Chain A
Amino acid sequence: MKVIDKSLAGTLESSDIQIILMPAENGGIEIELKSSVEKQFGRQIRKIITETLGKLQIENVKVIAVDNGALDCTIRARVECAAYRACGIKEKYDWEVID
């Protein structure tokens, strides 16, 4: 999928993560993460974001993520939602892509 627009999913509530996606200027996946659990889970959060984008076959995107202790399942769901929005897909979602 190709990111064509800026999109947002998620909130700044605790246990949630806010994901903003936008077309990347330089190509590749660039993640800018702010997290209340950066020291303990920063690595894991980046990994989940990258993995989820990979499964959706998004290769060029800038990600701004503000995390307040979201679990992995929440991170996946927010990234997926933001991705479909950023790619302008509004129906026929591929629910199988993330297991």
Chain B
Amino acid sequence: MKNSIGREIPEEIINGRALYGGEFALNEEVAKAAPKVKPVKPNESKLLNSIEEAIIKTGLKDGMTISFHHHFREGDYVLNMVVDAIAKLGIKNLTLASSSLSNVHRPLIEHIKNGVITKITTSGLRGGLAEEISNGLMEEPVIIRSHGGRARAIEAGDIKIDVAFLGASSSDEYGNASGSRGTANCGSLGYAKIDAEYADKVVIITDCLVDFPNMPASILQNNVDYVVKVDKIGNPSGIASGATRYTKNPKELLIAEYASKAIVESGYFKDGFSFQTGTGGASLAVSRFLRDEMIKKGIKASFALGGITKPMVEMYEEGLIKNIFDVQDFDLDAVASIGKNPRHYEIDSSFYTNPHNKGCIANKLDVVVLSALEVDTDFNVNVMTGSDGVLRGASGGHCDTAACAKLTIIVTPLVRGRIPCIVDSVNTVITPGESIDIVVTELGIAINPRRADLIERFKDVDIPAYTIEELRKKAESIVGIPDKIEYDDKVVAIVEYRDGSIIDVVRKVK
């Protein structure tokens, strides 16, 4: 059956689930799930000697669901360490509900082959694990969820976490845990907070045990069952990069300049506006151009949102941004800022962009700048699969913020090497075209025809403007027409839209 954007979803995959039918089509009242709690009495100790002991104490059994966060990114040691220990204990058939997975989680391949992990839900899949899954490693398709979609699924009980194993940069023996004050710091623990609130059992894993009370804490003691101290939770250089550098790539700078100009002329650029920029080269550079415009015009932003990087922190410290809402930090400047700047707030993923709560902060977002691997002539965006059809990306907050923001801008080069980025039909839809307002390339912009108001407004603006079809043709005239990727019928991943409906599937590559 086809969903509302014409994506073919096999019947056996639908299996009673909703098909995507529009950004806010599913908007019914929801009941929140609640975790089971085993009360902790005074004088009981939560501190355990090893991960093995924690696994045994939590009562983890075959068929249960375990969760992790991805704040340690490519530097994460926690997930592999825990799953290794689970495998040694002979527990099998687990569902892995990590907030995201990356290259460093390659050892999962063996645990999938051995039947320790049989189902996965995640935002991202990269590297060797992603390739193996694309080649049909798993029997059950992976469920790709956005950051807001994962928060929704946990609150709704679609993901029922039996045991959350949450790495923390520091913790006290009673479970007050933080992404700061340790040796391997990640700053915000925004994606872990929701797991701590909704999992039946919560284990904090840290390499830096500090004196009680470890305050302010991201995860509070009243949600924590056990604390384990290990030698190392991660490699600091893989967790947060040094200072995020501005791109020097002239193509990216031109894209950023056009994007910034588009924001300035959009009508949303006024005192008290709010914005989010992604972490791609062009996306990051937009903030530098915006900064200059803000100073020139005397405009201050009410808040910046998202994954936080140095440019946003600098603008906060210059007084150009009044508040930062931070679900995760990408560099050491952002990590340092959350500890010292009073209006740099840590938020959880539900507050960030869960569509089914009573109003996430993304609902208040004016402008978001996002990257893309591919955009098609319906403005659908792919950030999940490469042009060869193989999984290599992350859904992230893409479809969430795109749906919420008043102005959603996609920055992408027209071509990457020989790969066209504006195409007839994207390999995988993560964000539907109806959420996208302007696509910016190094040649100029294309405004979504759904936004007649913007087309009218940009008539006299000095940025080269094309239709999306014209941009597609220009890309094709440079690189030629690629052969279509051949897929098997087997579905290797289901892409859930933020509201839980199925927006697309990823098939096994031939």
Q: Taking beta carbons and an 8 Å cutoff, which residues of A are in contact with B?
A: 14-15, 36-37, 39-44, 68-72
New A-B contacts (10) at CB < 8 Å, excluding given A69-B418, A69-B419: A15-B417, A37-B419, A37-B482, A39-B388, A40-B387, A40-B419, A40-B482, A41-B482, A44-B483, A69-B417
From the candidates A14, A43, A70, A72, name the one contacting B483 in the complex (CB within 8 A). Answer: A43
5 residue pairs bridging A and B, Cβ less than 8 Å apart: A15-B418, A37-B419, A40-B387, A40-B482, A44-B480
Min CB–CB distance B69 → chain A (angstroms): 33
Residues of A contacting B416 with CB < 8 Å? 69
Which residues does chain A contribute within 8 Å of B482, judged by CB atoms? Answer: 37, 40-41
Q: Within 8 Å of chain A (Cβ to Cβ): is B389?
A: yes
Instruction: Decide yes or no whether B479 CB sits under 8 A from chain A.
Output: yes
Name the B residues within 8 Å of A72 (CB-CB).
480
CB proximity of B387 to chain A, nearest CB, Å: 6
Give Cα A99–Cα B416 distance, bound, in whole angstroms.
Answer: 26
| B478 / chain A contacts, CB cutoff of 8 Å | 71
Inter-chain CA distance A81–B57, complex, in Å, is: 70
Tell me how far the C-beta of B414 lies from the nearest C-beta in chain A, rounded to whole angstroms: 13
How close is B452's CB to chain A, nearest CB, in angstroms? 35
Within 8 A of A (CB), among B379-399: 387-389
- Do A41 and B485 have beta carbons less than 8 Å apart? no
Per-residue interface assignment for chain B, residues 472 to 486, with 1 indicating a CB less than 8 Å from any chain A CB and 0 otherwise: 000000111011011
**Chain A: minimal CB distance from B277 (Å):** 26
Interface string of B402-423 (1 = CB under 8 A from A): 0000000000000011110000
Number of interface residues of B (CB under 8 A): 15
Chain B residues contacting A42 (CB-CB under 8 Å) are 483
Task: Report A45 CB to chain B, min CB distance, Å.
Answer: 9
9 smallest CB-CB distances across A and B, nearest first, come from: A69-B417, A40-B482, A69-B418, A39-B388, A37-B418, A15-B417, A14-B417, A40-B483, A39-B485
Residue of B nearest to A40 (CB): B482
List B residues at the A interface (Cβ < 8 Å). 387-389, 416-419, 478-480, 482-483, 485-486, 509
In the bound complex, CA of A15 to CA of B419 (Å)? 10
CA distance A70 to B483 in the complex (A): 16
Minimum CB distance partner of A69 in chain B: B417
Contacts of B509 in A (CB 8 A): 39
In the assembled complex, how far is the CB of residue B262 from the closest CB belonging to chain A, in whole angstroms?
28
A42 and B485 alpha carbons, distance in the complex (Å): 12
Residues of chain A within 8 A (CB-CB) of B389 are 39
B480 contacts across to A, CB distance below 8 A: 41, 44, 71-72
Are B483 and A71 interface neighbours, CB within 8 A?
no
Nearest residue (CB) in A for B485 is A39
In-complex Cβ contact of B417 among A37, A39, A43, A44 (8 A): A37
- Across the interface, which residues of B come within 8 angstroms of A68, CB to CB? 417
| Interchain nearest-CB distance for B476 vs A (Å) | 12
- State the Cβ distance, A50 to closest chain B Cβ, in Å: 16
Given the interface pairs A71-B478, A71-B479, the reply to whether A40 lies near B417 with Cβ below 8 Å is no
Which chain B positions have C-beta within 8 A of A71? 418, 478-480
The complex places the Cα of A29 from the Cα of B476 at a distance, in Å, of: 29
CA gap between A82 and B341 in the complex, in Å: 61
CB distance from B410 to the nearest CB of A (A): 22
Complex CA–CA separation, A50 to B416 (angstroms): 25
Complex CA distance for A42 and B483, rounded to whole angstroms: 9
* A72-B415 Cα distance, complex, nearest whole Å: 14
C-alpha gap A40/B509 in the complex (Å): 13
Output the residue of A14, A43, A44, A68 with the most chain B CB within 10 A.
A44
Write out the residue numbers on chain B whose beta carbons fall within 8 Å of the beta carbon of A14. 417
Measured between beta carbons, the chain B residues less than 8 angstroms from A69 are: 416-419
Instruction: Name which residue of chain A comes closest to B388, CB basis.
Output: A39
Chain A residues with Cβ below 8 Å from B485 are: 39-40
Name the residue on B nearest A35 (C-beta). Answer: B418
Contact partners of A36 in chain B: CB under 8 A: 417
Q: How far is the CB of A66 from chain B (nearest CB, A)?
A: 14
CB distance from A52 to the nearest CB of B (A): 15
Q: Which residues of B contact A43 (CB under 8 A)?
A: 483
In Å, the complex CA distance between A69 and B419 comes to 8
* Chain A residues near B418 (CB-CB < 8 A): 15, 37, 40-41, 69-71
B483 & A41 in contact (Cβ 8 Å cutoff): yes
**A39 CA / B387 CA spacing, docked (Å):** 9
Q: Which residue of B lies closest to A73 (CB)?
A: B478
Most buried by A among B387, B483, B486: B483
How far, in angstroms, from A43 to B482 measured CA to CA in the complex? 9
Query: Residue on A with the closest CB to B389?
Result: A39
